[in-house]
Amino acid sequence: MRSKWAVVTSSIAVVAALGLIEAPAQAYGPTANSLGCRLYFGDAGTGSSPTTWSDTFGLTLSPATPAPGQTVTVTLTAAAGPLNGPAPLVAGDVPVVATVALGGSQSGTVTLNLAPYPTSAKDPYTPLGAISATGTFVAGPAGAATATVTRVKFANTTAATYCSNAGDRDHKAAPQASTIVEAFSVFDGSATVTAVSGQTVTTHARAGNTVTFAVAGLAPGATLTASLKDGAGAGTGEGTGTGSTDGSGAGTGTIAVPAGATTGVRSVAVSDGVNTVVAPITILGTPTIAINPGGGGAGTSVAVTGTNWNPGSTVAIRGYQALAGPPPPSPTGDAPVSITASASGGISTTYTVNDPATAYLGASSGVGPSTLFAIANWAASADACVAKTGAATTGSCSLTYNLSQTVTAGNLAMARAAGSGNIALSGVTLDGTVHTSTGTLPVITVTDYRGSTFGWSLVGTLTDFTGTPGGTIPKANLSWTPACTGTAGATNAVTAAAGTAGPVDGATLCSAPADAAGTGGSFDASAALALTVPAHQQAGSYSATLTITLS
């Protein structure tokens, strides 16, 4: 175990870059402050080397105003960190352990940790670097509370440093609460949507609807303001609502959904001027329908879907003629189909088109000025026509047919001749000179019948040659001279290219390029092999594994 000083603290000017960090909504600092520290060898005794650690500290809670039962993350930051002692440190030598005491409506302590500290090796008498130690607690009862840093330990296993409120004392056995204190509150208010005009549900609303809400846990006798915000209750508010609370902090109010309100998952945010509570709501947009198919002849069954209809409302689907005057268009002779919108405002049904005058399929809901309406174009297609009427001698008509052909992709594959998996290189007899052993990689046939624009490549990988009874010839000693041609009689869309002569391991044997005009064909790849045998190689029988990969 290394015998090192943990840290030696002293006054340090720390003002760098703090303006670049956006402070949470509720936080102590960043503020200049000081802690008193002592070094404890072997983490025992009463400590030595009393010093003062001056830094810019921050203490934050997230969320800043938690609800009872909510998990809260506490973070202690220091901009520069203490000074190192006389011995160098490696990364992670002095993990940080901070203790935060909870007060007021909360009780207990929170342990904050920063295990990898410092984050890099440090020379003697240099700042150890910024600190950000975190821990969590579960919020208790509602009410005002405080979080106070009572002690920070730099937990080197051989020489730990303990810091608490400034002053010369035994900071390990007799820590004192520091002045790094964050006041916060645990808030137990709530809001719910109780009614929405024009809707049968309380989960959705659209522009023009009035939302009625109820609140609890806010300030007694308060005037309430409300607006629509994002799903988390943040962002720029839309619309203006009002309300009030009684002596118990419970109350009601309303807000009208304005024209142009942001659609989708939103919330009604209600404030008493100090605290804000939110209730979820979804703002509906313009109703839509979609049809599939978009046209056809008499008897065509059409799948009709849609979004942003009033949940639980009745929606009528029917055909409409081409618009011949002011909207809406006239209905066709096909009977309407009625469906009920889902809890999210969706619709889904089928509708059969028979009337050849159909130019649109439409959906409508409601009556009078509040009617919702959406249409989709329909392309009528006749399966019969009249070429000549009566005794007419001129005229023609046509029927069209859509032809289809499916071309199924084949495979990219390779094959070799049966029994060609073993390659014997020419033998050599040692005579004190370097020898070259030769051989041939038999033909590998690559077939690309994918009908694509993609290319492919053959790449070799090799192990070292291992001898029996002993010895090794490095894989780098095996070279090849690749060859790659089109298979005799094949019709190829591209030309394959042989790889470069040289060492085998990791090298390309053959490849075919990608081509936007199309690729494919059949190709034969092979190679002349040459193994350099050192002049005084250990005699024996050598083997290696050559792997050819197609990709």
Buried b (16+ CB within 10 A) or exposed e, 324-362: eeeeebebbebeeeebebeeebebebebebebeebbbbb
Are 125 and 86 contacting, i.e. CB atoms less than 8 angstroms apart? yes
Cβ count near 515 (within 10 Å): 15
Are 163 and 35 contacting, i.e. CB atoms less than 8 angstroms apart? yes
Distance CA 224, CA 207 (A): 22
pLDDT above 60: residue 3: no
pLDDT single digits (tens) 117-132: 999 999 999 999 999 9
- Does residue 503 have a cis bond before it (omega within 30 degrees)? no
Return the CA Rg of the chain.
40
* Predicted local confidence at residue 41, as pLDDT: 86
pLDDT above 70: residue 19: no
Could you tell me the CA-to-CA distances from 531 to 180, 425, 435 in Å, in that order?
74, 8, 8
Distance CA 255, CA 210 (A): 6
Are 31 and 56 contacting, i.e. CB atoms less than 8 angstroms apart? yes
Tokens 């342990």, located at residue: 111
- Does residue 258 have a cis bond before it (omega within 30 degrees)? no
pLDDT above 80: residue 359: yes
For 40-49, what is the mean pLDDT?
Answer: 81
* Predicted local confidence at residue 370, as pLDDT: 85
* Predicted local confidence at residue 397, as pLDDT: 56
pLDDT single digits (tens) 409-468: 999 999 999 999 999 999 999 999 999 999 999 999 999 999 999 999 999 999 999 999
Nearest to 359 by CA among 383, 377, 335, 384: 377
Residue of higher predicted confidence among 398 and 218 = 218
The amino acid occupying position 394 is T
For all residues of the chain together, what is the average pLDDT?
Answer: 90
Q: Is 496 helix (H, G, I), strand (E, B) or coil?
A: coil
Lowest mean pLDDT among 340-349, 381-390, 498-507: 381-390
Strands (E), 16-139: 27-41, 48-62, 71-78, 96-104, 109-114, 131-138
Looking at 80-200, list the stretches that DSSP marks H as alpha helix, in order from N- to C-terminal side.
none
For 27-36, what is the mean pLDDT?
Answer: 94
pLDDT single digits (tens) 125-157: 999 999 999 999 999 998 899 999 999 999 988
Q: Which residues are within 8 A (CB) of 355 and not within 5 positions of it... i.e. 6 or more apart?
A: 298, 319, 332, 333, 334
